[in-house]
């Protein structure tokens, strides 16, 4: 098979490798689609803890071609999606049910080979069947959608509340759809790229704001009559984190969902959070939400057809990573070409 291998930060090679064999509790998946995530760029740059060498890629779907001897809930030919986050089950956080904070967390595409290859071995317990009607391409969105659903759980959106979403990439677009499905009132999207604003309207945004031409905070206050009940920051910058706090209504909630650089710092005034009684929270990965993501895709509550803007074979992963950071992309997918798997 062809596999894209990260041997050290910014050192990426494409290799011909033997197809891996599954262990007794594993499955071997022929990868159909694997999304390029912002985390993949952090891994490539050496900004995220990873064990080299590794085949990255953690947003994957595909078809099972071999199962280990102890696997019973999936079989050869099944179409599946993978929850890449593998928890230990024995640390304090796992035993409290907060598995996303597992002290021994490992992940497909981070600590073990992932989906930027023709085939991927995954623990069977991490594999979920895709229902009829959910394409393999859509199935690769289950992992980031599961993370969004956890964020929505944290945010506790109530029907009729006004929401500002900052950042119109794939995550922001899925957040729009989840907010609309949850009964949000007005949904505002702040996004500097016109194409993403257009997709945002199609995804269900009520209003779009160009932050390069408008004051995001002032526009939000005008459109909502004082500020958003909930602000979901999906851009991952210090500046947009500051905007998120400023744009929230008194008593509002701010969800910092975008992955900012580890050393980024934002200027937030503790007194403002105190006197305005704001709730500022984070959200990390997908505890117990992968199944719900699959069901949301199956029910059509989240649609992904318009989100993939670019597709690449495994051999062009470097180009895919570069495109994922460009203004032209919403979602970039790596899909093994015929004969490449």
pLDDT tens column, 299-329: 999 999 999 999 999 999 999 999 999 999 9
301 secondary structure, DSSP code: S
Instruction: Provide the angle, in degrees to the nearest 10, between the axes of the packed helices 238-247 and 216-224.
Output: 30
pLDDT value at position 65? 98
Place 340 in a pLDDT band, splitting at 50, 70 and 90.
low
Please report which residue ranges of 156-193 form alpha helices under DSSP H. 170-181
Give the pTM: 0.97
Range with lowest mean pLDDT among 34-43, 70-79, 214-223, 245-254: 34-43
Predicted pLDDT of residue 61: 98
pLDDT tens, residue by residue, 1-44: 999 999 999 999 999 999 999 999 999 999 999 999 999 988 99
How far apart are alpha carbons 40 and 246 in whole angstroms? 30
Task: Using the predicted structure, report yes or no on whether residue 270 has a pLDDT greater than 50.
Answer: yes
pLDDT tens by residue, 237-265: 999 999 999 999 999 999 999 999 888 99
What's the mean pLDDT in 324-341? 85
Q: What is the pLDDT of residue 338?
A: 58
Rounded CA-CA distance 170/172 in Å is 6
Mean predicted confidence (pLDDT) in 267-273: 96
Separation CA 52–CA 56 (nearest Å): 10
- The CATH number of 148-282 is 3.40.50.720
Interacting residues of 259 by C-beta distance below 8 A, sequence separation 6+ = 38, 39, 42, 236
pLDDT digits (tens, 9 = 90+) for 104-132: 999 999 999 999 999 999 999 999 999 99
- Residue 204, both tokens: 């269900």
For residue range 188-207, what is the model confidence (pLDDT) as tens digits? 999 999 999 999 999 999 99
H or E element in which residue 120 lies: strand 119-123
Residue 96 scores a pLDDT above 80: yes
Confidence of residue 155 (pLDDT cuts 50, 70, 90): very high
Pick the CATH number of 2-141+307-334 from 3.40.50.300, 3.30.1360.120, 3.90.180.10, 3.40.50.1100: 3.90.180.10
pLDDT at 339: 47
Q: Where in the chain is the domain with CATH 3.90.180.10?
A: 2-141+307-334
Tell me the three state secondary structure of residue 160.
Answer: coil
Q: How confident is the model at residue 54 (pLDDT cuts 50, 70, 90)?
A: very high
Which residue ranges does the chain devote to CATH 3.40.50.720?
Answer: 148-282
Is pLDDT at 88 greater than 90 in this prediction?
A: yes
Q: What is the pLDDT at residue 47?
A: 79
């Amino acid at each position: 098979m062809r596999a894209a291998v990260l041997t050290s930060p910014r050192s990426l090679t494409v290799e011909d490798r033997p197809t891996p064999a599954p262990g007794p509790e594993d499955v071997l998946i022929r990868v159909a689609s694997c999304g390029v995530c912002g985390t993949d760029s952090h891994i490539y740059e050496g900004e995220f803890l990873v064990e080299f060498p590794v085949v990255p890629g953690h947003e994957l779907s595909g078809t099972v071609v071999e199962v280990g001897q102890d696997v019973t809930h999936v079989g050869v030919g099944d179409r599946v999606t993978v929850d890449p986050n593998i928890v230990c089950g024995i640390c304090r956080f796992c035993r409290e049910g907060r598995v996303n904070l597992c002290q021994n967390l490992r992940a497909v595409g981070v600590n073990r080979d992932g989906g930027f290859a023709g085939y991927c071995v995954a623990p069977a317990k991490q594999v979920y069947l895709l229902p009829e009607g959910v394409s393999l391409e859509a199935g690769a969105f289950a992992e980031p959608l599961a993370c969004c659903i956890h964020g929505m759980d944290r945010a506790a959106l109530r029907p009729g509340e006004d929401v500002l979403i900052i950042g119109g990439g794939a995550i922001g677009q899925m957040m729009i759809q989840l907010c609309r499905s949850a009964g949000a009132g007005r949904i505002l999207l702040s996004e500097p790229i016109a194409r993403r604003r257009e997709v945002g309207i199609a995804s269900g945004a009520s209003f779009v704001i160009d932050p390069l031409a408008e004051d995001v905070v002032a526009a939000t206050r005008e459109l909502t009559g004082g500020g958003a009940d909930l602000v979901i920051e999906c851009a991952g910058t210090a500046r947009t984190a500051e905007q998120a706090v400023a744009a929230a209504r008194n008593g509002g909630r701010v969800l910092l969902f975008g992955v900012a650089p580890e050393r980024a710092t934002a200027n937030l005034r503790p007194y403002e959070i105190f006197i305005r009684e704001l709730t500022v929270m984070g959200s990390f990965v997908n505890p117990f939400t992968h199944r719900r993501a699959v069901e949301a895709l199956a029910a059509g509550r989240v649609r992904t057809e318009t989100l993939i803007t670019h597709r690449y074979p495994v051999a062009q992963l470097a180009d895919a990573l570069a495109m994922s950071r460009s203004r032209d992309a919403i979602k970039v997918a790596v899909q093994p070409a015929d004969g490449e798997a």
